[in-house]
Every structure is written in structure tokens, then in C-alpha cells.
Amino acid sequence: MISRDFFKAGHFPTLLAAFFYFDMSFMVWVLFGALAVQMSADIGLNAAQKGFMVALPVLAGALLRVVFGILVDRLRPRRAGIIGQLIVIAGLSIAWLVGIETYTGTLALGVILGVAGASFAVALPLASRWYPPQYQGVALGIAGAGNSGTVFASLFAPGLAALLGWNNVLGLAVIPLAVAFVVYFFAAKDSPTTPPPKKWSEYLATLRMSDAWWFMFFYAVTFGGFVGLASSLSIYFNTEYGLDAVKAGFFTAGCVFVGSMVRPIGGALADRIGGIKTLSIMYSVAALMLIVVSFGPRSVYTALVLFVTAMLAFGMGNGSVFQLVPQRFRHEIGIMTGLVGMTGGVGGFFLASSLGLSKQLTGSYQTGFLAFASLALLALVSLTSIKRRWRTTWGAVGVAAARI
């Protein structure tokens, strides 16, 4: 699905550097989700506290994406990425050396891990600005496949924590982050077509566009579903089916792997059949899977299949949304990536925290799953209602408009 012309169209070393930076950043962004079973056992957390602990980095990352979106516009993507990586490396190093022993300490580190989540607002514009409209779906799909970093967290962190202690895992995480920083520093370059910084009033002007709010909502559902489940599934498998931390991590890694790897496919499919059509299918599938899983399948393997399918839909939906964003907001891609990415993180915070709260108050995760399934259905209805306007008003973007 990727043509040879794609490799000639942009700057491939920058695309790979953006992917690697995003990948390692996402690995540590959801680190609490991977370590939640062991951390909560040591610190003594209830269901609501566990839910909030894994959700806070997601929320912090969401809010900081706006900050880094502005930094991308004013400092250019490469420099913004360097700043973010240094903050996360320093924060994890201090946490490892000092040690975390309280719930308050986990929340403080959670805010620092949010900076890693803000890498989304840097990596995607860094890659996007090198590629023409007809390759946006593929380019942003590849860069956005850095979501796969969540797989590494779920796959390796619980096992390493069992051997070395979860606090030492925080220190070990610094090693791949440092490697990614070196690669990024030498390989990543800003596009020569990077637009000049915008006036502050222009940032507010973007928010006055109704399409900006629609994209923010649509991504809140697709990415929110992906990262919310990535942060919560280890707890879910442990609580509902009695899996130990390591095996729960393996199950979570399988779900996350699917969701992250299909993001480029979602972007490429949207390039071919249209982002609206692709998104409509993904919302339908995701909502159905969450509704079914909310009733608590008896078999853990049945639940696994349902979650894998839901993550597949959310992952492809992520690629589909960002096939559309650069077409509509070519000159505002920095701030739009920050805004859209922010609401994606807010969606993840809503899902992760509502699952924990639902379990604490009702003894079941069903209410949390059904609430998010309702958002997916609302997104489907909303997308259907506005697609005709989009198809008739996006003519100015040229050939790519035919594929929305």
C-alpha cells in the first residue's frame, strides 16, 4: 500500500527519528498502566486510586500537547522535541534515585510522564511537514505508529519489576529514552517549508472554526479508546480474571500491539477509500466490542478477542483522523496536532478513570465501558451528519479532497 514514490517525497531519516522518539516516549507515558498491579499492591491503592493513577499521565499529556503544539509553531518541531525529551529523562532519573513510596509521589511523577505523552504534538508535525497531501495518511500513520511503545511497556515492565522491583524499572526506562534522544538529535531535521510562527490571536482563531472542534471530538474517541484501554487492561485482566501482573501484561501487550501496528494501515486505507468512510466503520466496530465486553465474558480469551478487535478499530481510526487533519488544516498543523492530541488524551483519561470509578462504586466495569461506547456511537452519528458539508466545502484542498 506504500508506493516507491513515497520514499522520494520527503525526508525518510526524519520520519524514522520521529517514529522512534514517539515510540520510546509512549513507552514511558503508559508505564504506570504496565506497573499498576505491582505498584498498587506495594502502596495500597483502591480501585478508584488505581484508575486515577494510570489516568493522570494521560490527562497531563493531553494538556501539555497544547503547550508543545505552540512550541512547535514558535521554536520548530526539532527543538521542541529536544526540550521534551530532556524533561522526561531528568524526571525519571530523579524518581529512580529518590524512590517513590506514596500515592502522592506517583501522581507527581505522573505529571512528568505526561510530557512524554506530549511528544505526539511534536513527532507528527515534524513528519507531516516533509510530505505532500497525497502521502499524509501514510507519513502520519508511520510516525503515529509510535503508539507501539505501549507494547514494550506492557510486555517487559511487569516482568522486570518482578525481578528487580518496579522502582528500578523507572531507571531502566531512561536507557532507551537516551538512545532515542541521540538518534533524534542527529537524524531529525525541520522541513524547509515550515511556516513562520503564528500570532497569538491566530491560535484562538483556530478554535473559532467548527471543524477544529469536530476533529478534537473524533480523536477523543479513537485515541482515547486506544490509550485508555492500554492504560487499564492490565488492571482489568488482573481484577476480573485473576491473571498475575506478568501474564496480564502479556495479554495487554497483545491488544496494544494490534492497535498500534494498524495505525499506518488506517491512514493508508483512508487515502484510498476516504477518511470519513474508514472512520465510520471503525466507530461502529469499536462501539459494538465495548458493549459486548461490558457484560463480562466468562472466558478471558473471549475478552481478549473482543479487546483486540476494539483496539484494531481504535488504531485504524487514529490513522484515519490524521489523514483528514492535514487536508483541512495544512497551515495550522502544529496547533491542530496539539489541540486534537489534547482531546485524544482527555478521552483516554475519561475511559481509564471512569473504569476505575465504575469498579469502585458498582463493583463492575460495565458502566465505564458503556459510557465510552456511547461516545463512539455519538461520533458515528455526528460524522454521518456533517460528511456532506465536508465533501462540498473542502474543494480548495485539491485532489486529496476527493478522498475524504
Which grid cell is 288? 459494538
Q: Are 53 and 45 in contact (CB under 8 A)?
A: yes
Q: Which element (helix H / strand E) includes 320?
A: helix 300-328
pLDDT at 360: 94
Please give the grid coordinates belonging to residue 315: 488504531
d(CA 112, CA 338): 17
Q: How far is CA 353 from the centre of its chain?
A: 16
What is the average pLDDT across 197-219? 82
What pLDDT, on the 0 to 100 scale, is given for residue 139?
A: 80
Of the ranges 259-273, 331-345, 385-399, the best mean pLDDT one: 259-273
Least confident of 208-217, 269-278, 349-358: 269-278
Which residue in 79, 332, 269, 254 sits closest to 184, CA to CA?
Answer: 79
Separation between Cα atoms, residue 224 and residue 344, nearest integer Å: 5
Q: What's the confidence (pLDDT) of residue 399?
A: 39
Residue of 164, 114, 152 lying closest to 249 (CA atoms) = 152
Q: Is 93 helix (H, G, I), strand (E, B) or coil?
A: helix
Average model confidence (pLDDT) across the chain: 88
3-state secondary structure of 299: coil
Q: What is the pLDDT of residues 274-331, one digit of tens each?
A: 888 899 999 999 999 999 999 999 999 999 999 999 999 999 998 888 778 877 777 6
Residue 103's pLDDT band (boundaries 50, 70, 90)? very high
- The DSSP secondary structure of 353-383, one letter per residue, reads HHHHHHHHHHSSSHHHHHHHHHHHHHHHHHH
Amino acid making up residue 355 = L
CB-based contact 169:31 (threshold 8 Å): yes
pLDDT for 404 equals 60
Name all domains of the chain by residue range, CATH numbers in brackets.
Answer: 9-188+207-394 (1.20.1250.20)
Mean pLDDT along residues 62-71? 86
- pTM higher than 0.75, yes or no? yes
**Grid cell locating 252:** 495487554
Q: Which of 39, 33, 25, 180 is nearest to 112 (CA)?
A: 25
- Per-residue pLDDT at 247 exceeds 60: yes
Q: How far is CA 153 from the centre of its chain?
A: 14
CA–CA distance from 371 to each of 261, 334, 355 (Å)?
26, 31, 9
Average pLDDT (144-159) is 86
Question: What is the sign, positive or negative, of the torsion defined by CA atoms of 121, 339, 109, 26?
Answer: negative
